[in-house]
C-alpha cells in the first residue's frame, strides 16, 4: 500500500458540494500531526479549519488559496511514513525508474520537431508518437496559410500547380471601398502592418462597418488578437472631438472626457456565504407570503432596567445590551403564542409547531450575512442568554461559526438598530415563520402620562408567513413583545 495518502475535501455538513480554500496553514515539506489544522475552507455556510487525517510530511498541495474545490477532490498529499527514506521528486507515490528503463527511452531529435502529442512529434517521456504500422514523420508540420493573406516567405511554393492556368481577372466594375477611419498607429501595429491580423469574423465585419483599419490596432485578446472592444474603442477615439475643444481647462490642462467601460467596474464573484444567502432569500421571498407589521415602543424603562442589571454582581463581567431584553421578550411572547414558532411542511401538508426555540441572531460578517442560532434558548436564564449572545456574536465576527450553529433555527432577530436604522421589512429565513427587526433607540418627544416628554423610543418590525400566522396572531405577538419592552420588570412578574 502506498505511503502517500491523498486527503480529499470532506463533506462539511448538510449536503454542501464545494468549498473555497481561504488559506493553507501548512506548506510542502512541513511535518504535521494527527488532527492538526492544515487548511481553512469557506463553505456556503461558514469558514472552518480542517484537521489532518494522518500524521506525516506534506508532499503536495493540489490547490492554491482562492480555488473553489468540489467535495471529494484531493487537496493535499501526505507521506505517512517519512522515515522510510526519500521519494522520487516527480511522483513521490511511485518507485524510482531503473537505469535499464531510462536507457530504453528514445529521445526525439530537435530537427523536425512538432507539437507534442501530434503524430511524429515527441510524446511524454521523450518518445516519438506514431500510429501502429507507420513510422515517424520525417517532415516538419506546417500551418496552412490563411485564405486571402500573403505567405510568410517570399520563396514559398505557389498555391497552384505549375500546369494550372492563371486565374482570370474580373473585368466588371469594382465598388469603391468605404472611407477608412484610422486610429493612431502604435509601434506594435507598425511591425505587423504588412502581415495578417488575428481577429474573428464578427470583429472583422464590425471593423469594416465602422471603417476601422485592423492593421492600425494593437490587439488585447489572446495571442494579440483584435477584439470587439478594441475596435469600438478605436472608433470612439476617432469620432470623439479633440480634448481641447470639449474638456474644460483646469490650471492650463484639458480634462479628459469620462469613459464608461470595464476598467471602471469591479466584479465580485458570487460564492460561499453570500451565494447561499442569496439562494435562500429568493426561495423564501417567492415561497412564503410575507406580511410585515410595525410597532413604535417607548423603551425608557427597559434602558433603566438595563442599567440596574449591569450593576448586579452576576452581570458585572458580561456585556449587556438592549438586544438581551429584546431576545427575552421574544422568548416569553413565543410561550404565549406557540404558532409563531413553527414551520410549514409542504411535503407532509402539515404545520410543525416547535416546543423549543432555536433563537437566530442575524450577524453581518465580511463574507456576508449569516444567522447562527442559540439552541433551546427558552430554557436559558437571563445570564446564560447574555453569555450565549456574546459568544455567538464574537464567533460570527471571527468567521469561525460552524455549520451546525446555522441550521435548525426556529425564530430570528435582526438588529438593524446598530447601523442607525429605525426598522425594516426582513425576509424570513427558510423554514421559519417569523422574524423580528429591532430598530435604533432614539430620544424622541413622546406623550407620557398626559405630557410631552423626551423618551427613549424604538420601532419593531415583524415579518411573518401568512400561511401560518394570520393578522390577529401576528399583531398579538408583536403587542406582547412591545409590552415587555415598555415595562420589562412588570412583565417578568406577571408572565412568569
Closest by alpha carbon to 361, among 333, 393, 329, 332? 393
The 10 Å CB-count burial string (b at 16+, else e) for 211-241 is ebbbbbbebeeeeeebbeebbbbbbeeeeee
> Cell digits for 338?
406557540
Q: Is 257 left (phi over 0), alpha (psi -120 to 50) or beta?
A: beta
Task: Give the Cβ contact number of residue 47 at 10 Å.
Answer: 22
Of 63, 290, 337, 466, the catalytic one is 466
d(CA 319, CA 310): 8
**Cα Rg of the chain, angstroms:** 36
- Are 328 and 484 in contact by the 8 Å Cβ rule? The answer is yes
d(CA 14, CA 21): 19
Output the CA torsion sign for 359, 365, 367, 368. Answer: positive
- Are 435 and 413 in contact by the 8 Å Cβ rule? The answer is yes
- Are 197 and 214 in contact by the 8 Å Cβ rule? The answer is yes
The yes-or-no answer on residue 466 being catalytic is: yes
Residues with catalytic roles: 466
Amino acid at each position: 500500500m502506498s505511503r502517500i495518502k491523498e486527503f480529499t475535501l470532506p463533506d462539511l455538513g448538510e449536503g454542501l458540494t464545494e468549498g473555497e480554500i481561504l488559506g493553507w496553514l501548512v506548506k510542502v515539506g512541513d511535518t504535521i500531526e494527527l488532527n492538526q489544522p492544515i487548511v481553512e475552507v469557506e463553505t456556503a455556510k461558514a469558514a472552518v479549519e480542517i484537521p489532518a487525517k494522518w500524521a506525516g510530511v506534506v508532499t503536495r498541495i493540489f490547490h492554491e488559496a482562492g480555488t473553489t474545490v468540489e467535495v471529494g477532490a484531493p487537496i493535499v498529499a501526505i507521506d505517512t511514513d517519512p522515515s522510510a527514506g526519500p521519494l522520487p521528486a516527480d511522483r513521490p507515490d511511485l518507485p524510482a525508474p531503473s537505469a535499464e528503463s531510462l536507457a530504453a527511452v528514445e529521445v526525439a531529435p530537435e530537427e523536425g520537431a512538432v507539437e507534442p502529442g501530434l503524430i511524429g512529434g515527441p510524446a511524454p517521456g521523450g518518445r516519438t508518437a506514431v500510429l501502429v504500422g507507420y513510422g515517424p514523420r520525417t517532415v516538419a508540420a506546417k500551418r496552412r496559410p490563411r485564405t486571402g493573406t500573403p505567405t510568410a516567405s517570399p520563396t514559398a511554393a505557389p498555391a497552384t500547380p505549375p500546369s494550372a492556368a492563371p486565374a482570370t481577372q474580373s473585368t466588371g466594375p469594382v465598388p469603391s471601398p468605404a472611407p477608412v477611419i484610422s486610429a493612431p498607429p502604435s509601434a506594435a501595429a507598425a511591425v505587423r502592418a504588412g502581415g495578417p491580423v488575428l481577429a474573428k469574423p464578427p470583429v472583422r465585419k464590425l471593423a469594416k462597418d465602422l471603417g476601422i483599419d485592423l492593421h492600425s490596432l494593437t490587439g488585447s485578446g489572446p495571442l494579440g488578437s483584435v477584439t470587439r472592444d478594441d475596435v469600438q474603442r478605436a472608433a470612439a477615439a476617432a469620432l470623439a472631438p479633440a480634448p481641447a475643444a470639449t474638456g474644460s481647462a483646469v490650471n492650463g490642462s484639458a480634462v479628459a472626457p469620462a469613459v464608461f467601460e470595464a476598467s471602471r467596474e469591479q466584479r465580485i464573484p458570487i460564492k460561499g456565504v453570500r451565494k447561499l444567502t442569496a439562494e435562500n432569500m429568493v426561495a423564501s421571498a417567492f415561497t412564503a407570503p410575507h406580511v410585515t407589521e410595525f410597532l413604535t415602543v417607548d423603551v425608557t424603562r427597559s434602558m433603566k432596567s438595563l442599567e440596574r442589571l449591569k450593576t448586579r454582581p452576576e452581570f458585572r463581567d458580561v456585556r449587556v445590551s438592549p438586544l438581551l431584553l429584546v431576545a427575552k421578550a421574544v422568548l416569553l411572547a413565543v410561550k404565549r403564542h406557540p404558532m409563531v414558532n413553527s414551520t410549514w411542511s409542504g411535503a407532509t401538508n402539515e404545520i410543525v409547531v416547535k416546543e423549543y426555540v432555536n433563537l437566530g441572531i442575524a450577524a453581518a460578517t465580511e463574507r456576508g450575512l449569516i444567522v447562527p442560532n442559540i439552541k433551546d434558548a427558552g430554557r436559558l436564564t437571563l445570564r446564560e442568554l447574555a453569555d450565549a449572545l456574546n459568544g455567538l456574536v464574537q464567533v460570527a465576527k471571527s468567521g469561525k461559526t460552524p455549520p451546525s450553529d446555522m441550521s435548525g433555527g426556529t425564530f430570528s432577530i435582526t438588529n438593524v438598530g446598530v447601523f442607525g436604522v429605525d426598522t425594516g421589512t426582513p425576509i424570513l429565513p427558510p423554514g421559519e415563520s417569523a422574524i423580528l427587526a429591532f430598530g435604533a433607540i432614539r430620544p424622541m418627544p413622546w406623550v407620557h402620562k398626559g405630557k410631552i416628554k423626551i423618551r427613549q423610543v424604538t420601532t419593531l418590525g415583524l415579518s411573518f408567513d401568512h400561511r401560518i400566522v394570520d393578522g390577529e396572531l401576528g399583531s398579538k405577538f408583536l403587542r406582547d413583545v412591545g409590552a415587555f419592552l415598555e415595562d420589562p420588570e412588570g412583565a417578568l412578574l406577571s408572565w412568569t
